[in-house]
Amino acid sequence: MTVSLTGGRSGGTRIAFRIARRMAGQSRGRSALIALLVAIPVLGLVGITTVVASNEATPAERAVLELGATEARISIVTVPTADFSQDPLDDRFFRYGYAEDAEQSLNAVPVSAESLFPFDTRLLSIRSTDVVAETKDGLGSFPAVQGQPWDPAFAGKWDVTAGTAPTADDEIMVTAATLDRLGAGIGGTATLTAPNAGSFTIVGTISSSSLDDDAVAFYGLPGAFDGILPGASDWMTQWYLPDTPLSWSQVEELNPHGVSVLSRSVLLDPPPAGSVSFDSGGSSPDFLVIFIALLGGFALFEVALLAGAAFTVGARTQQRTLATLASVGGDRRMLFRVMSFGGVILGSVGAVVGTLLGLGGAWIFLGVWAHGNASRYPGFHVDLVSLLVIAAFAVLAGWCAAAVPARAAGRIDVLAALRGAQRPPRVRRRRPVVAVVLLIVGASITVIGGLVQLAAYGTIYRGGQSAVGVSLIIAGPVLMQIGAVFLAPGILRRAAEVASRWGPGARLSTRDVARNPGRSGPALAAIMSCVFVATFVMSLQASLEINSTRTYTYTAPLNTAVVSLNVFEEEPAFEYVVQSTGPEVAAALDASFPSGQARLLSSVEQPFPGFTAPGEATDGAAVAPALPYPRIDPAALCPTDADRTGSGAQEFPADIRCPTPYYLDVANGARDDHIWVGDVDDLAAILGMPVSAQSRQTLAAGGAVSTYDEYLADDRIRLDWLTALNTSEEPTRSLTLAGSVQKPEHPLPYAIFMLPSTADAVGLDYRPTVAVSSLDAPPTVAELDQAQAALAAVSQDMSLTVEAGPDAYGATWSWALLALTAIIALVTATITIGLGRADGHRDSAVLRSLGASPWVRRAFGFWQAVVVVGLGSLIGVLLGLMPSLALSLTRDALGVSILPFAPPWLQLTLMVLALPALVAVGAALTAGGKRTGFSNRAVVD
C-alpha cells in the first residue's frame, strides 16, 4: 500500500509540520543550539527596547515623580499677563507677549500664591537653594531644599527613610549619603558657612525620587538656610496643593495671573488633542529608533547566517531521513516544507526564550543602573509592539536560515543518500560574478546613503538626520555581506592554496575547508557578520566620542584647577569686579593641591557682551574707552570663500562673513579676555605643554604668540583699539607685532600672549584675572573639599573648577565591545567548528585509522580555525568600516564631519589577529580525542 504525503495543501502542511517537529525533537542538541542562536539577538533587542521604553514615564508615574501625592503645583513666573498660555502637560513651557491689542492687567507686580485661592486652602512651599557645608575633609557646595518635603503629601517624590521631621529652624534632614560625606550620624551636627552660617542638628534622612543613592542634599524648614521666607520670594518658590484638584479650565483661568500649573488631573486626563496648540520643543526619537533598527537588522542577519550553518549541517546529517521521506512519496515541495518548518519552529522557540531572557535582563539592568533614581527609569515598561516585531523578525530569520538547505533538500539524490554517497561540491561560475556584482552594488548604495546624509545636513537644506540615508547605509553593507558569502568558496580555495605550504596539517585542513563550502562557508559568514557588527558599533562609538570631544569647551588644559578673580557684585552696581586677592588664592591652591604649582595669569581688560565701561561725559553722553582687540585675518578664517555666511558669523571685523568658532569670537564673554601677559612659565601653564623654541624667540624679540592661525597674517599680529564690538568703525589706534603660532592640544580661551615688557612698551593695561594650578592627576573629593574651604577663607564669592575634559567613553566601550565580540566569536567559532567536526567525523576517523599523529590532528584543527576565523574577521572588519565611512561624509555648516571616520585601530587589529589566534589555539587543544570507529563508509561518486 502506498502512502501519499502530498495530499491537499492543508493536509500536506500539517504532515510537514508534524515531521519537522519530530525531527527537531530527535536532534535536541542541534535544535537547542539553533534556538539559542536566535534567542541571543532577540535577548539584546528586547532588552534595549524595554530599557528605552522604561525611560519614559507614564502619566501616572510622572504625576508621582513631579507631585508626589499632591494635586497640583503652581509657579509664579511673570506678572499678570492676559495672553499667557502654557503647555498642559509641562509647566516649564509657556509663552506670553505684550501685543498692543492685548488687554493687560494694571498690576505690574507678581501675585502671591495665597491670593489665588480661598484663605483656608492648604499650601506647601518648596524653594531650592545651594549651601556650603563643612565636610569631614573641608568644604563642599551642595543643593538644598527649604519647605516641607517630609510632609506625607509628597510621598513618592520625597520619602522619610529614618528619624523624624524637623520642628525648628535649626533642625534639618539630609540624604543617607550626606551622613558619610559629613562624617556624622542622625543626632549629629552639620555646620553651614553659606548662604548663612550656622549649625544644624540632623534629625533624620530623606530620599528623593530624582536623586541617586549617593547624592548629597540638605532639607530644612522654609527660610532655614538663606533666611528668605516663601512669601517674600514667590519668583523662586513652587507651591503645592495637597487637597485642591485643578481642572484644565481652572488652569486656564490661573494663567493670566502669570501662573504656570502642573495638575495631576490634567496629566491623567489631558485636554483633547488639537484643542491646545503648544510645541514644547521635544526631540524626536527617530534617530535612536533608526540605529536600534540598524543594529537589530545586522544582528538578525548574523542569526540567519549562523543558524543557516547549523541547518546546513543538519540537512547533511539528515539526508537518510529526507531520502526515506522522498522514497515513500514525499515530493520536492514536501521536503522543502519539512526543512523550512524546522526553521519556523526553532525560530519561534528562540524568539520566546530570547524575549523572556531579554525582559529579565532589562529588569536586572534597571534595578542596578537606576542607582535609586526613580526619574531615570520611572517603571518597568514593555513595548508590546516592538516585542511582536522583534519576535516576527526572529521567526523570519529562522525561516531564512532554513530556506537554503530546504531548497537543497528538494533536489536530494534519493539513491545516493540511502547508500551514504556524497557528491563533491560543484563550482559554479555564476556565483563569483553575482558576488562581485553584489559587492559593487552594496558599496555604491552605502556611498549613496552617505551622500544623502550629506545633503540632509547641507548648508541650505539642513533637514537633519535622513531616514532614507540611514536605510541605504543599512542595506549596502548587508548586500556586501551577501556578496562575500557567495564569494566565500572561492576565497577559501585561494586560502587553501596559500596555507597548504605550511605542512601536512595545514594542507589537509585547508583542503577540507575548501572542498566542503557547505559547512565552512556559513561558518566564515557567521564570523564575518559578528565581527562586522562589532566593528560598526566600535567605529560609531569612536566617532561619537571624537565629535563630543571636538564640541567640548575647554576652560583650561586637562587637570588644571582654575579660579577666576572676576566676581559678580550686586552692590553698588550689578557688574563684574576683578578682586585683588590673587596671591591669597594662589596660596590656597598650593596648600590644597601639593602636586601643582599655582600661577596668576594676567590679561588686558575686555568688557562683557552688552556692557561698556563708561568714560568721561561729553554733551551728556557716556563715552566708552577704546580697548585693544586682536585682529582676525579673514583669509585664514575663510581661505576659499570669504563671503560665505552661516550661523555664528561674526560682524567684527566687518569683512569676515564665515561661521566663526567660539574660541575666536571676541564677544564670547565671561572671563575670556583675548590678550594675556606673563612670563614663559605662564604661557606653558596656558598651553598645557612646554613652550617651543620659536615661541621663546618671538617673545624675546618683543613679539606675541598666538594660539590660533587666524590671528596671524604675514607673520604679524595686529591689535585694533575699538570703543564697541560688532561695528564697522575705524579703530582709534592700530599696531602690529611680530608673531608666531603655538597651538594648544585643545582650543582654549587664550588668544594672544606677550611678555610684560612688550605689553608695557605698547601701552597695555593688564591685571591678574585668573589663578591656575596644573595637577598631575584628577583631584579627589577630599582635595576638592579642602580647596573649597581654603578659598572660602579668602572670599565666599569665588568658585573652583577643575578641567576634567569630556567623557572618554569611546575607548572603554571599544574594549568592552572587543571582549564581548571575542566571547561571541568564540561561541560562534566553537559552534561552527563543532558543526564542521560533526559533519566531517568520517574524515577524522579516516585520519585516525591511517595512523595520523595527535600533532597532525591538532594542526588540522588549528589551521581550520585560522582560515575560517581569520578570513571571517578580516572581511568583517573591512565591511564594518563601510557604514562609518559613509556616515563620515556628513558635514556641518563649517565643513566638519558630523561623525568623523576614526575607527579604533588597535582594537580592530586585535580582532583581526588575536581573535583568530585565540580560537585556533583552542581548536588545536580540543582537536585530539579518543579513537572512534565508523561504518557505512561514504562513497564519493
- What CA dihedral angle connects 371, 374, 375 and 380, to 10 degrees? 100
**Which is it for the CA torsion 785, 791, 793, 795, positive or negative?**
negative
H or E element that contains 402: helix 384-409
| 570: its cell numbers | 550686586
pLDDT of residue 512 exceeding 90, the answer is no
Asked if pLDDT for residue 311 goes beyond 60, the answer is yes
Which residue matches cell numbers 519668583?
Answer: 235
Q: For position 832, what pLDDT does the model report?
A: 61
Cβ atoms of 243 and 68 within 8 Å: the answer is: no
Average pLDDT over residues 823-839: 64
What average pLDDT does the segment 263-289 reach?
67
Least confident window among 78-87, 432-441, 451-460, 554-563: 451-460
Q: Which residue has the higher pLDDT, 834 or 410?
A: 834
- pLDDT grade, residue 9 (50/70/90)? low
Per-residue model confidence as pLDDT tens digits over 138-170: 888 899 999 999 999 999 999 999 999 999 999
Q: How confident is the model at residue 658 (pLDDT cuts 50, 70, 90)?
A: low
Residue 438, pLDDT > 90, answer: no
Question: pLDDT tens across 362-418, in order?
Answer: 999 888 888 888 888 999 999 888 888 888 888 887 787 777 665 655 555 444 444
Residue 171 has pLDDT above 90, yes or no: yes
Asked if residues 869 and 825 have their Cβ atoms less than 8 Å apart, the reply is yes
pLDDT at site 939: 39
pLDDT over threshold 50, residue 649: no
Q: What is the mean pLDDT of residues 477-483?
A: 81
Tens-digit pLDDT profile for residues 334-344? 666 777 777 78
709 secondary structure, DSSP code: G
The rounded radius of gyration (Å) of the Cα atoms in the chain is 36
Return d(Cα 515, Cα 751) in angstroms, integer.
67
The residue to which cell 550629506 is assigned: 454
The confidence score (pLDDT) of residue 11 equals 54
- pLDDT score at 690: 93
The three state secondary structure string of 175-240 is CHHHHHHHCCCCCCEEEEEECCCEEEEEEEEEEECCCCCCCCCEEECCCCCCCCCHHHCCCCEEEE
**pLDDT, tens digit (0-9, with 9 covering 90-100), for 839-882:** 555 555 555 665 555 666 666 667 777 778 888 888 888 888 88
3-state secondary structure of 539: helix
pLDDT of the residue at 145: 96
What average pLDDT is seen over the chain? 77
Strand 598-604 relative to strand 766-774, pairing? antiparallel
- Contact present, 860 and 840 (Cβ < 8 Å): no
Provide the sign of the torsion angle of the four alpha carbons 151, 154, 155, 157, taken in this order.
negative
Q: What is the pLDDT of residue 272?
A: 82
